[in-house]
Amino acid sequence: MRARVSYNREGEIAEICLDNPPVNALGVGLRAGIMEALAQFMADDAARIAVIHAAGRTFVAGADIREFGKPPQAPFLPDLVNHLEALEKPVLCVLHGTTLGGGLELAMGAHYRLGLPGVKLGLPETSLGILPGAGGTQRLPRLAGMEAALEIMTSARQVGAQEALSLGVLDALAEEGLAPLEAGRKMAAQLLAEGAGPRRISEMPAPQIAPEALAEIRTQTARRFRGQIAQLTAIDAAVEGAAMPFEAGMKHERALFERLMESPQRAALIHAFFAERKVAQLPELEGITPRATDRIGVIGGGRMGSGIAVSALLAGLDVTLIERDAEAAAAAREGVAATLAESVKRGKLREEARAEILAQRFRAAADYAALSEADVVIEAVFEDMAIKRAVFEALDRHCKPGAVLATNTSYLDIPGIAAVTTRPADVLGLHFFSPAHVMRLLEIVVPEGTAPEVVATGFALGKKLRKVSVRAGVCDGFIGNRILQVYRAAADHMVLAGASPYEVDRAVTEFGFPMGPYAVQDLAGLDIGFMTRQRKAPHRDPREFVPRWGDVMHARGWHGRKTGQGYYSYGPEHPRGAPSPEVEEIIAAERAERGVQPRSFTPEEIVARYMAAMVNEAARVVGEGIAARPLDVDVTLLHGYGFPRWRGGPMHWADQQGLGEILRQIEGFQSEDAYFWQPAPLLQELVAKGADFARLNAA
């Protein structure tokens, strides 16, 4: 990959162009090229001002990810930025596309910043477990004020052009339609006419912040990013650095940056970053051309079906939604329109675009014949095998040859669904997560007989929908729900033994999950769990422990949040739920019936068992080929099940704990339930070899 920096001069204006496709990442080649171009500028007596701009779709979008984890090479970014700022002739940076991380730090080393309309700026380093380490924590507060700078750095969000201008991060916005260099020349000429010289952010007054405001920011940040250290460390770097001379503040920033570079959280977040990029890189798809994905059909207008439709519409696709009758189709259309209206309200969509979508790219009907030209049809009806097979029989009759037929089933046997068609090679699973237009995870479930180009089409559609797509094999629950069933069962074992559901939920949330397993069941609906138990009952091993308290709650009509009572009680005084003494009584009755003498559990014991069950089943999933690699499990749990990102995913976490220790724990638990706590063969094999899951990712 080439990294080129060119120098040119037109009259008194030097032009420095950065060209390191695809996103002008600040690798060592680009850094060295910038240093050389700045030296040319200073040696060029005819050049009075320099314009730094970038080729391609964006200015510098951040560091070069190919250098992550490698020893840094000179010129180092902090030195480059400081050198740029110290120049005795003025430099203007022209920003377009996304100017992030080191790109924004580079721009803040320049003396002036011009943004093109639509530019987005940000310092997202805390999302990778580090902080801006090339002056970002020192320069941004001097431009935008301390409170605004802290919010930008800790949230890792991207700031739009108008906001950046109002905060003073940008000095001006260019006119619509100008190319970066053209806009830069125009502003550079204006600066020359005004006699403008270098204007160094390091020489600006250090910003102040009231102690009470700082205390509130720290409190809110700690609450929002519970358990994470990068955000609070970035606050320390900015606030403590502002109390020092600028050079001392820079050294303080660097010391904190290097401390974070050595933290386990940084390693976990970098693992998650790379895993998300590797998850769709499958050797089986190399050289395979996907089929068309422009026209989408959706069967079912419930919450899942309408969410899938909205996701496709927001991605610019044409969508036809089929419901059972005209009345249901009309209701589905209203539901989709309402969801799109929410997108308008949140600023994600313009009202004109919403009107265009509803008028030209979306229709709801009650006749399968409306799907005759659909490229991909996604079934999202009730989780019942007979209903789904009837839908696929109809799709087989009405859809054109070559159309991809997908089921959104969470658990059911996809080959059994495909068998009712005359084209099983065109059938696969596209398991969306609710709400489908918000949740990023998409499990692409591949039956053995599915054609390679159909699999490639699933991934191509996932990319269009901006999903994180993970390949999964066929089994009950695929990757995520299969593992979920096991770690939920581990929670039930602990509750039977004496822990309360609320102690389990508390320990799990303190570990970093947004919700515990019992609060999640209340949110999903306890009737869903009841139906799953009923479906699996005929094939269940008699040694498996299945609690009866859920059936008692179901019989009472306690289905969770939607009925006001589940594991928690809900109402105006406790909308998020309060522990229910009645639930504890039901559980206590089952303990007594089974002859269990309850004991107490520490939070550490709860997490150890919960995570051991999760990792053990995940090892089975990888060992059986349901997940291609451990990283596929990590991405699935991160994006679909609330696993704390700063822990990297269950497989990365297990490697950090030591697989031998986890195996030892599982073997210890076997004395309580030898059937449930059977070590996964892959886990045993890796421990015997002294290997870990990371080695399988690299294989």
Told to judge if 342 belongs to the known catalytic residues of this protein, a careful annotator would answer no
For residue 359, what is the DSSP state? Answer: I
- Tell me the pairing of strands 120-122 and 362-365: unpaired
pLDDT at 406 over 80: yes
- pLDDT number for residue 67: 82
Catalytic residue among 15, 125, 253, 379: 125
Catalytic residue among 15, 85, 105, 617: 105
Cα–Cα separations (whole angstroms), residue 464 to 281, 337, 354, 457, 461:
16, 21, 19, 11, 5
H/E/C letters for each residue in 488-499? HHHHHHHHHHCC
pTM of the model: 0.92
pLDDT at 70 over 90: no
Mean pLDDT of 475-482: 95
Q: Are 132 and 100 in contact (CB under 8 A)?
A: no
Q: Are 55 and 94 in contact (CB under 8 A)?
A: no
Mean pLDDT of 77-102: 97
Spell 307-339 as b/e; 16+ CB within 10 A means b.
Answer: bbbbbbbbbebbbbbbbeeeebbebbbebbbeb
Q: Read off the pLDDT of residues 418-436 as tens digits, 9 standing for 90 and up.
A: 999 999 999 999 999 989 9
- pLDDT number for residue 535: 87
Which of 209, 105, 225, 228 minimizes the C-alpha distance to 150? 209
pLDDT at 273 over 90: yes
Q: Give the separation between CA 294 and CA 84, rounded to whole angstroms.
A: 47
Told to judge if 125 belongs to the known catalytic residues of this protein, a careful annotator would answer yes
**pLDDT band of 347, cuts 50, 70, 90:** confident
DSSP string covering 421-472:
SS-GGGEEEEEE-SSTTT--EEEEE--TT--HHHHHHHHHHHHHTT-EEEEE
145: left (phi over 0), alpha (psi -120 to 50) or beta: left
Cα–Cα separations (whole angstroms), residue 82 to 26, 94, 142:
15, 18, 15
One-letter amino acid of 81: V
Q: Are 329 and 364 in contact (CB under 8 A)?
A: yes
For residue 87, what is the DSSP state? Answer: -
- pLDDT number for residue 105: 98
Backbone angles phi, psi at 185, to 5 degrees: -60, -45
**pLDDT band of 678, cuts 50, 70, 90:** very high
- pLDDT number for residue 68: 75
Q: Read off the pLDDT of residues 360-393 as tens digits, 9 standing for 90 and up.
A: 999 999 999 999 999 999 999 999 999 999 999 9
Percent of the chain with pLDDT over 90: 94
Q: Which alpha helices (H) appear in 87-145, and where do they start and end?
A: 102-109, 136-144
How confident is the prediction for the chain on average, in pLDDT?
96
pLDDT at 2 over 60: no
Q: Are 505 and 517 in contact (CB under 8 A)?
A: yes
Mean pLDDT of 355-360: 95
- pLDDT number for residue 3: 59
- pLDDT number for residue 211: 95
Q: List, in order of start, the domains of the chain with CATH numbers.
A: 4-262 (3.90.226.10), 293-472 (3.40.50.720), 518-587 (1.10.1040.10)
Which of 231, 106, 118 minimizes the C-alpha distance to 173? 118
Q: Read off the pLDDT of residues 584-616 as tens digits, 9 standing for 90 and up.
A: 999 999 999 999 999 999 999 999 999 999 999
Could you tell me the end-to-end alpha-carbon distance of the chain, in angstroms, rounded to an integer? 24
The length of the chain in residues reads 699
**pLDDT band of 69, cuts 50, 70, 90:** confident
pLDDT at 470 over 50: yes
Residue found by looking up tokens 């060029």 in the block: 44
H/E/C letters for each residue in 415-433? HHHHCCCCCHHHEEEEEEC
Mean pLDDT of 290-297: 97
**pLDDT band of 566, cuts 50, 70, 90:** very high
- pLDDT number for residue 1: 41
Spell 609-635 as b/e; 16+ CB within 10 A means b.
Answer: bbbbbbbbbbbbbbbeebbbbbbbbbb
User: Any residues with CB less than 8 A from the CB of 458 and at least 6 apart, and which?
Assistant: 404, 406, 428, 430, 444, 446, 469
Mean pLDDT of 31-39: 97
Which of 263, 230, 38 minimizes the C-alpha distance to 123? 230
Which of 299, 491, 486, 514 minimizes the C-alpha distance to 395? 299
Q: Are 294 and 375 in contact (CB under 8 A)?
A: yes
**pLDDT band of 72, cuts 50, 70, 90:** confident
DSSP string covering 390-412:
HHHHHHHHHSPTT-EEEE--SSS
